[in-house]
Amino acid sequence: MAVEQYADNLDSMAGVEFYSGILCAGFVNAHSHIELSYLRDAIAEGGGFAAFAESIGRVRGNFSEAERLSAIEEADKAMWQEGVDAVGDIVNGATSFTTKATSPIHYHNFVEIFGLRECNLERQRALLKYPNTSLTPHSVYSVSDVSFREVCSADTDKPLSIHFLESPAEKELYRGCGSLHEWYSRVGFECDFLHHNSPAERIVECIPSDRSVLLVHNCEIATGDITMVLNHFKAPVYWVLCPRSNSYISGIEPRAVELLRRYDRNINICIGTDSLASNWSLSMVEELKIFHDIPLAELLLWATINGAKALGIDDKYGTIEVGKHSGVVNITGVNLENFALTPQSKAQRVL
Ligand SMILES: [Zn+2]
């Protein structure tokens, strides 16, 4: 690939193709669970966070292996066609690796640990034989103390990807109230990590400061949480927003975005789609449309280079430059007068 500037009249040059819209680098979807694609339309919208987590457990067994595999294939193709170059994908089993072995999309696979009782990590460690895999705890409310510390302090340069403050129930759990606390009490789950006092404290007290981390969702984040996290880490912290998933599950507005931008205009924000269990599609452009007050140029950085940096692949992806492997995406339906997405905006891969 070459990137050049032309002063001449391009109309008269042979081999030049013209596109209506704007061209940008291929997208990096910083947070998805492609293996849950078979759950599209399986869980009702708006049930709230604890009900969603419980529903996933209930409906998981209702689908055949063939249905799971074809849903993953379809989701992978749709992401590629929309212009997604790379995905930070959460993995619980081996189902998605058949598709990933031949997909043109680069996947970083975060093999997820969860369990409130002492958990044996052997089943998850077995998945590390697949390419681009590393272990990560699911969240600060669903992993026992020993396993959380063990995974976070592993000697590796791979980032962690942790679901963080998706719902008020996470902070409430540490205070002994709320829907997670009620659920856990009802089924007899015990937590051995509540001495950390809050989700943010657990993060900074258990993760070495030189380990890069993607914190995913951040819906209920407060300024004090951001300060605590940023004061601790020397390695970069990436704040991944998945606004349509939050809307699907809990009907909440993406308030965190303004708080993060006000805190530091150059804070590392990335975009994820989460899974088809909690979203209508895995479209990066549909996620960006939610942030209609934010300049499009800034949104495109979140959806491209910031995600590439978070996954440690910015030497290959995230910007259109000679020597990189980024795709080229055409976004149509853009209001070119104020440079903003419209409800009609769509993205399609050109290269
Ligand atoms: Zn997720």
253-262: long-range pairs with CB below 8 Å, 24+: 254/219, 254/290, 254/291, 255/219, 256/218, 256/219, 256/220, 256/221, 257/291, 257/294, 259/221, 259/222, 259/223, 259/226, 260/218, 260/221, 260/226, 261/294
Burial class (CB in 10 A: 0-12, 13-18, 19+), 124: buried
Q: Tell how far the Cα of 33 is from the centroid of ligand 1, in angstroms.
A: 6
Q: Tens of pLDDT along the chain (351 residues)?
A: 677 777 777 877 888 888 889 999 999 999 999 999 999 999 989 988 878 887 888 888 889 999 999 999 999 999 999 999 999 999 999 999 999 999 999 999 999 999 998 777 999 999 999 999 999 999 999 999 999 999 999 989 999 999 999 999 999 999 999 999 999 999 999 999 999 999 999 999 999 999 999 999 999 999 999 999 999 999 999 999 999 999 999 998 888 999 999 999 999 999 999 999 999 999 999 999 999 999 999 999 999 999 999 999 999 999 999 999 999 999 999 999 999 999 999 999 999
Q: Tell how far the Cα of 275 is from the centroid of ligand 1, in angstroms.
A: 7
Query: Which helix H or strand E contains 294, and what residues bound it?
Result: none
Residues 6+ apart with CB under 8 A from 116: 142, 143, 144, 184, 189, 190, 191, 192
The pLDDT, as a whole number, for residue 346 is 98
CA atoms of 218 and 110, how far apart (whole Å): 19
Provide the residues around ligand 1 (an ion) whose CB is within 5 A: 274
Q: Tell how far the Cα of 11 is from the centroid of ligand 1, in angstroms.
A: 46
Q: Tell how far the Cα of 277 is from the centroid of ligand 1, in angstroms.
A: 10
Q: Tell how far the Cα of 207 is from the centroid of ligand 1, in angstroms.
A: 20
Q: Which residue has the tokens 């007068």?
A: 337
Q: Tell how far the Cα of 175 is from the centroid of ligand 1, in angstroms.
A: 24
The pLDDT, as a whole number, for residue 63 is 93
Residue 187 token pair: 């089924």
The pLDDT, as a whole number, for residue 1 is 61
Q: Tell how far the Cα of 242 is from the centroid of ligand 1, in angstroms.
A: 9
Q: Tell how far the Cα of 163 is from the centroid of ligand 1, in angstroms.
A: 6
Q: Tell how far the Cα of 249 is from the centroid of ligand 1, in angstroms.
A: 12
Q: Tell how far the Cα of 90 is from the centroid of ligand 1, in angstroms.
A: 7
Q: Tell how far the Cα of 35 is from the centroid of ligand 1, in angstroms.
A: 11
pTM of the model: 0.97
The pLDDT, as a whole number, for residue 291 is 97
The pLDDT, as a whole number, for residue 11 is 79
Contact between 167 and 219 under an 8 Å Cβ cutoff? The reply is yes
Q: Tell how far the Cα of 274 is from the centroid of ligand 1, in angstroms.
A: 5
**What class, spelled out in words, does domain 36-326 have in CATH?**
alpha beta
Which of 245, 258, 205 lies closest to 228, judged by CA?
205
